[in-house]
């Protein structure tokens, strides 16, 4: 059984909170603060109860060494704006600056450590290296709180090893994620539809096996669709495609029930991202152009299917939603989910960012998850190291 922060008296304790604040940046400004907002209930709850809060997180992939491009400074600034108080960012993660800042935090106060991934041991596959870094992090705290659901599928020092070294609890976000995603693993209300898209195709292929067994229909858009189209003999021009995934797609099409996997029948194409784009049949993509969104016919078909669902899991936009000419498919799917009766889970940072960018309120959906890869692994029934550590 996983304990939560409500099971602990935290007043005066140094509480190390592992959050997921890996947000997109626009220069030195946070472009989408969804994950920061999701961390607020746990952070404010601990501060209100008199804890001395130490926030730790990662940003990007700095390669295991300090890199100013990946400093947590913009995140600390935005968190401070949301809290209505300045947030001090330490100059290091576990060095003299961090130790001094933590020692100075008063009950009800908060400090943020610099990017965890500035230390190569954070993501090391060597247990001893990771453990040594976890020892340093654990020295800063009396209690460890896991609230970064987007990272719980990683066996990283701050996610897994610190929890083994200190009393530990789940934050409100992790608790909410587990409750919502559990509804996709048992006693599922049917029809159960899954919508898959986005550009991160490899992770979703790993999940497809279990999704075929669980879902009634799987609607495939975005770059996820291209290996399946090619497997059916369709040429996709210069669209984003990894040839090695075509064989996997062909096998999934063979194993699926006829009609279970639905692919685009039309797409929006352009020579490169930009301009207005042109709608063509999915089997008529020009050799020198790329598909950047599902077409209006496909969007209407997908929306109609989603209206019939009782449970929906959506992971990955239907196209390059960041540019208006290619946002139509993602908007149509989101719109359908806001008007249907299904319990809907929006899975993944990119999908959450998409609905916010397109003006949809998160409250219009059943649950908006903060973890893309983590949510996919959870609904497959895989062991997530960060959650396993909390159960230890």
The pLDDT tens digits of the residues spanning 341-372 come to 899 999 877 899 899 999 999 999 999 999 88
pTM, to two decimals: 0.90
Inter-residue contact 320 to 352 (CB < 8 Å): no
- Other Cβ atoms closer than 10 A to 327: 22
SS3 37: helix
pLDDT band at 207 (very low <50, low <70, confident <90, very high): confident
User: Is the distance from CB of 36 to CB of 82 less than 8 angstroms?
Assistant: yes
Task: Classify 55 as helix, strand or coil.
Answer: strand
Phi, psi of 73 (to 5 degrees): -55, -50
What burial letters (b/e) apply to 204-241, b meaning 16+ CB within 10 Å? bbebbebbbebbbbbbbbbbbbbbbbbbeebebbbbeb
What's the confidence (pLDDT) of residue 81? 98
pLDDT interval class at 186 (50, 70, 90): confident
Contact between 180 and 345 (Cβ < 8 Å): yes
Average pLDDT, the chain: 95
- On the CB side of 108, how many CA atoms lie within 13 Å of its CA? 3
Residues 299 and 293: their CA atoms lie apart, in Å, by 9
pLDDT-based confidence at 292, cuts 50/70/90?
very high
Mean pLDDT of 137-147: 98
Mean per-residue pLDDT for 299-311? 96
With bands split at pLDDT 50, 70 and 90, how would you rate the model's confidence at 137?
very high
Predicted confidence (pLDDT) per residue in 104-131, tens digit: 999 999 999 999 999 999 999 999 999 9
Number of C-beta neighbours around residue 84 at 10 A: 6
The Cα-based distances of 125 to 22, 105, 132, 155 in angstroms read 21, 33, 12, 8
Contact 257, 217 (CB under 8 A): no
- Confidence (pLDDT) at 63: 95
Q: Return the CA Rg of the chain.
A: 22
pLDDT of 243 > 90? The answer is no
CA distance 123 to 109: 29
**Side-chain half-sphere CA neighbours of 298 within 13 A:** 26
The structure tokens listed for 274 are 């930009």
Q: Which positions are annotated as active-site residues?
A: 35, 200, 349, 373
When mean pLDDT is compared across 24-28, 79-83, 135-139, 173-177, the lowest value belongs to: 24-28
187-205 pLDDT per residue, tens: 899 999 999 999 888 778 8
With a pLDDT cut of 70, the percent of the chain lying above it is: 100
Q: Give the pLDDT score at 372.
A: 81
Of 129, 152, 209, the residue nearest 22 (C-alpha): 152
User: What are the structural domains of the chain?
Assistant: 5-176 (3.40.50.1260), 183-379 (3.40.50.1260)
Give the residue from 120, 123, 118, 122 showing the smallest Cα distance to 67. 118
Per-residue burial over 11-30, b = 16 or more CB atoms within 10 Å of its CB, e = otherwise: eebbbbbbbbbbbbbeeeeb
> 338 with 345: CB under 8 angstroms?
no
């Amino acid at each position: 059984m996983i304990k939560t922060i409500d099971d602990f008296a935290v007043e005066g304790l140094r509480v190390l909170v592992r959050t997921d604040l890996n947000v997109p940046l626009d220069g030195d400004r946070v472009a989408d603060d969804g994950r920061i907002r999701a961390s607020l209930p746990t952070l404010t709850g601990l501060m209100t109860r008199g804890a001395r809060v130490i926030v730790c997180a990662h940003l990007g992939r700095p390669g295991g060494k300090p890199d100013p491009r990946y400093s947590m400074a913009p995140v600390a600034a935005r968190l401070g704006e949301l809290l209505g108080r300045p947030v001090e960012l330490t100059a290091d993660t576990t060095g003299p600056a961090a130790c001094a800042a933590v020692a100075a935090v008063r009950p009800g106060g908060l400090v943020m450590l610099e990017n965890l991934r500035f230390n190569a041991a954070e993501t090391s596959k060597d247990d001893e290296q990771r453990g040594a870094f976890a020892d340093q992090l654990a020295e800063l705290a009396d209690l460890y709180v896991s609230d970064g659901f987007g990272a719980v599928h990683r066996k990283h020092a701050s996610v897994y090893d610190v929890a083994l070294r200190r009393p530990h609890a789940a934050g409100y976000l992790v608790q909410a994620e587990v409750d919502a995603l559990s509804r996709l693993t048992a006693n599922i209300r049917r029809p159960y539809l899954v919508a898959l898209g986005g550009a991160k195709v490899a992770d979703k292929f790993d999940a497809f096996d279990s999704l075929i067994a669980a879902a009634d229909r799987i609607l495939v858009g975005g770059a996820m669709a291209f290996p399946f189209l090619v497997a059916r003999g369709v040429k996709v021009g210069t669209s984003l495609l990894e040839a090695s995934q075509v064989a996997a797609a062909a096998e999934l099409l063979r194993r699926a029930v006829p009609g279970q996997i639905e692919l685009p029948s039309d797409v929006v194409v352009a020579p490169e991202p930009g301009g207005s784009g042109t709608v063509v049949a999915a089997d008529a993509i020009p050799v020198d152009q790329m598909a950047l969104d599902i077409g209006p016919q496909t969007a209407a078909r997908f929306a109609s299917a989603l209206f019939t669902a009782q449970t929906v899991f959506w992971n990955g936009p239907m196209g390059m939603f960041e540019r208006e000419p290619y946002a139509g498919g993602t908007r149509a799917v989101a719109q359908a989910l806001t008007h249907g009766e299904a319990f809907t889970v929006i899975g993944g940072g990119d999908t959450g960012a998409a609905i916010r960018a397109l003006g949809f309120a998160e409250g219009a959906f059943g649950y908006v998850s903060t973890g893309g890869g983590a949510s996919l692994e959870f609904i497959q029934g895989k062991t997530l190291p960060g959650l396993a550590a909390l159960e230890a």
